[in-house]
Amino acid sequence: MTTTLARPRTPVAPVAGPVAPGAPAPPSFRRRVIHVLGPDWAAGLAFAAPMLALMVGLIGWPFAQALWMSLHQVIGPRWVQFIGLENYAAQLRDPQFRRALLTTVQFTAESVAIKFVIGLVAALALHNVRRYRALLTALILAPYIVPEVVTAATWRFLYNPQFGGLNATLQVLHAWTNGLIGSAGGIGWTSNPAWAIHAMVAVNVWKGVPFFTLLALAGLKSIEKELYEAAAIDGATAWQRFLHVTLPGMKYVIIVETLFSLISTFNTFGMIYLITAGGPGGSTKVYAIRVYEQIGSMLFGRAVALAMLIAPLLAVLVVILGRFMRGSQSEDDRESAAYVGLLWLVWPVKVVLRFALDVFWLVNRYAEAVGEAASRALGRLLLRGGARGTRRAGKVAMGLLVALPIAVITFIELYPFYWILVTAFKTNQQLATYTNVFWPAPWSTEHFVFLFTKSQFPTWLRNTVIVALSATAISLSVSSLGAYALVRLRWFGASFISTAILLTYLMPGIMLVVPLFQIFALFRLTNTLGSLILAYPIGLMPFACWLLMGYYRSIPEELEESALIDGCNKFLAFRHIVFPLVLPALVVVALFSITGAWNEFLMAFVFIQSNEATTLPVGLGKLIIGDVFPWGPIMAASITMSVPVVAFYGFSQRFLVEGLTAGSVKG
């Protein structure tokens, strides 16, 4: 990390004053302050103050406390003794740690790679759709807003080897196709250690594809059409246009979305824990579950040490992400020790990537030659039908290229929703005895009636709406001011802070909740929605800042300069000139913020005790009691809470893509 100014310093005009003969004038105090802190340091600090307060109070302090704890033998509440690096050494000796790390790397690499490819394909197809684009985009985005508890419950149901939807489907397909497709006995999705990790990847992909699709769509939209036209005139094929125009045009968004996803996927916990708890035989035990196990067994010092051992890996990603978030890379950055160290750290990865790219280009050269020959042959065949036939065939082929991926991806994304729907409308007897597997007979609304008359669902819904809207308002205020200070104002520490806001990604959430609880208790905020309203913006801040920083960069500085010349100060210029222009980006931040509040479980569970202040994700968890799973009410609740958000996404997805497009995804 670096502590240089975000942008090159502007020369400061000399200030008149008494000067000793023959000696240069000593700089005034103001000049010295400006020289050290930057010309906009006062405004910068004022703009960034709310963000800094959140960072230091709610992230920095817990992080420092955790670091100190990792150097002690801490058993439960007892700080037994200072033991230096022994907790770290114990982890490094532990084969379980190495296994968990490898499992996490495998899970992350596989998930992110698949999410990237599917997200890109979905975005390319949606980008070329003429009709129903809003609806299709909303449908593909649907899994993103499903709470983790519901995601886990749904996939547990789908993976159930004996009664689950997936095996039921495979068995039907097997019967219909005489064994050509499907499986008569089903697959042990989560019972076979070799399958289980891939089954978890599938869930992560299902939930994560919308994020990639959304950003990729925005990236595609930001590429200028003239580039494609020029390439076409030069005779580039569709594949060549994709390789040489689309991909380079999306380079920035690809890197940022991949880094964000790498970091969040690496820290995945709840989804896997709720489905397999790390089993069978530890085959899905990612590092966050290992941390959780150690916290559960009261070996706090060791648990923290484990998280801290992972932190450098994440830090590499965070530093790279930070550099991209800052946009242009200054000379100071290049010379900084952190940057040089980073180059050394990522050197092996770069070598592997470069080799892979070389292999790709080699293969691609031959593939293009083969493709060209095939295309010529196809063209000759089609020309027999005349130019009209060729055009029609081309249209059909293009239509298929667009429709097929959309159909497949939409099916994959909506398949679990089908099971949610039919399960919600089955009677308890049908659910218990697994009759009428594919279609309820009769349809029953008993679970919806239960939700609205016998559970506190309406209260949970009301609380979630309050938290989501309030947290969104704070996220918008803090991020819009903070990002402006980091991009537009020249002050000491801006560069460092734009990386430091990513610090929150270095620790699993499970380790932040206790210190956060203590902080909130100090201000008598526990057991109130206020604790969640303050805590939720923390997780969103890095993404929101990245988005807004990109957006601010896209606004010509001349607009502000004109306002300043006209007598505005920095605040008025921001309020009247810049702020109205970033509204599309604020819509995006709002959507992500609402989605986060709709999903978050852990903090809501720990901070809130009272039934009156319970939010939806925790409320849904309350429906699951002991070892009896109330599938009907859970699925009914899932539908009820999804409908308004899907509708909201459908309505605002145009703004969503526009908000992401205009600036941030261009780098």
> Which residues, 97 to 136, sit near other proteins by CB under 8 A?
none
**DSSP H or E run through 35:** helix 29-37
**DSSP H or E run through 79:** strand 78-82
Query: Which of 116-124, 250-258, 520-528, 653-661 is the region at the interface with other proteins (rule: CB under 8 A)?
Result: 520-528
Q: How far is the C-alpha of 548 from the C-alpha of 479, rounded, in Å?
A: 8
Q: Are 34 and 41 in contact (CB under 8 A)?
A: yes
Residue 241 CA neighbour count, 13 Å, CB half? 18
Q: Minimal CA–CA distance to 431: which of 150, 626, 636, 206?
A: 636
Among 95, 348, 442, 580, binds other proteins (CB under 8 A): 95
Judged by beta carbon, residue 477 or residue 528, the one nearer other proteins is: 528
Q: Minimal CA–CA distance to 105: which of 324, 265, 255?
A: 265
Q: Which of residues 252-311 bind other proteins (CB under 8 A)?
A: 276-283, 292-299, 302
Query: Which of 360-368, 542-550, 577-585, 622-630 is the region at the interface with other proteins (rule: CB under 8 A)?
Result: 622-630
Judged by beta carbon, residue 81 or residue 329, the one nearer other proteins is: 81
| Neighbouring C-beta atoms of residue 204, cutoff 10 Å | 23
Distance of CA 481 to the CA centre of its chain: 22
Q: Which of residues 524-543 bind other proteins (CB under 8 A)?
A: 526-527
We find the least distance from the C-beta atom of residue 76 to other proteins, in angstroms, to be 5
Under the binding rule (CB under 8 A), the answer on residue 162 touching other proteins is yes
Under the binding rule (CB under 8 A), the answer on residue 388 touching other proteins is no
Secondary structure of 519-567 as H, E, C letters: HHHHCCCCCCHHHHHHHHHHHHHHHHHHHHHHHHHHCCHHHHHHHHHCC
Query: Which of 37-45, 51-59, 375-383, 617-625 is the region at the interface with other proteins (rule: CB under 8 A)?
Result: 617-625
Q: Which of residues 576-605 bind other proteins (CB under 8 A)?
A: 602, 605
Judged by beta carbon, residue 191 or residue 554, the one nearer other proteins is: 191
Strand residue runs (E) in 401-507: none
Under the binding rule (CB under 8 A), the answer on residue 79 touching other proteins is no
Q: Which of residues 407-446 bind other proteins (CB under 8 A)?
A: 428-429, 432-434
Q: Which of residues 303-362 bind other proteins (CB under 8 A)?
A: none
Residues in Cβ contact with 268 at an 8 Å cutoff, skipping those fewer than 6 apart:
107, 108, 204, 286, 288
Among 59, 126, 618, 634, binds other proteins (CB under 8 A): 618
Among 68, 132, 163, 571, binds other proteins (CB under 8 A): 163
Among 513, 555, 568, 581, binds other proteins (CB under 8 A): 513
We find the least distance from the C-beta atom of residue 162 to other proteins, in angstroms, to be 5
3-state helix, strand and coil shares in percent for the chain, rounded to the nearest 5: 75, 0, 25
Q: Which phi and psi angles does 81 have, rounded to 5°? A: -165, 160
Query: Which of 416-424, 568-576, 614-622, 645-653 is the region at the interface with other proteins (rule: CB under 8 A)?
Result: 614-622
Residues in Cβ contact with 638 at an 8 Å cutoff, skipping those fewer than 6 apart:
146, 147, 150, 153, 154, 420, 424, 620
How many residues bind to other proteins according to rule CB under 8 A? 72
We find the least distance from the C-beta atom of residue 408 to other proteins, in angstroms, to be 27
Judged by beta carbon, residue 579 or residue 605, the one nearer other proteins is: 605
Q: How far is the C-alpha of 255 from the C-alpha of 260, rounded, in Å?
A: 9
Among 8, 14, 17, 185, binds other proteins (CB under 8 A): 185
We find the least distance from the C-beta atom of residue 468 to other proteins, in angstroms, to be 21
Query: Which of 13-21, 202-210, 508-516, 648-656 is the region at the interface with other proteins (rule: CB under 8 A)?
Result: 508-516
Among 12, 19, 53, 80, binds other proteins (CB under 8 A): 80
Q: How far is the C-alpha of 97 from the C-alpha of 299, rounded, in Å?
A: 14
Q: How far is the C-alpha of 649 from the C-alpha of 335, rounded, in Å?
A: 44
We find the least distance from the C-beta atom of residue 108 to other proteins, in angstroms, to be 21
We find the least distance from the C-beta atom of residue 52 to other proteins, in angstroms, to be 25
Q: Which residue has the tokens 């084969």?
A: 95
We find the least distance from the C-beta atom of residue 443 to other proteins, in angstroms, to be 19
Token pair for residue 160? Answer: 């159930």
Under the binding rule (CB under 8 A), the answer on residue 198 touching other proteins is no
Q: Are 499 and 322 in contact (CB under 8 A)?
A: yes
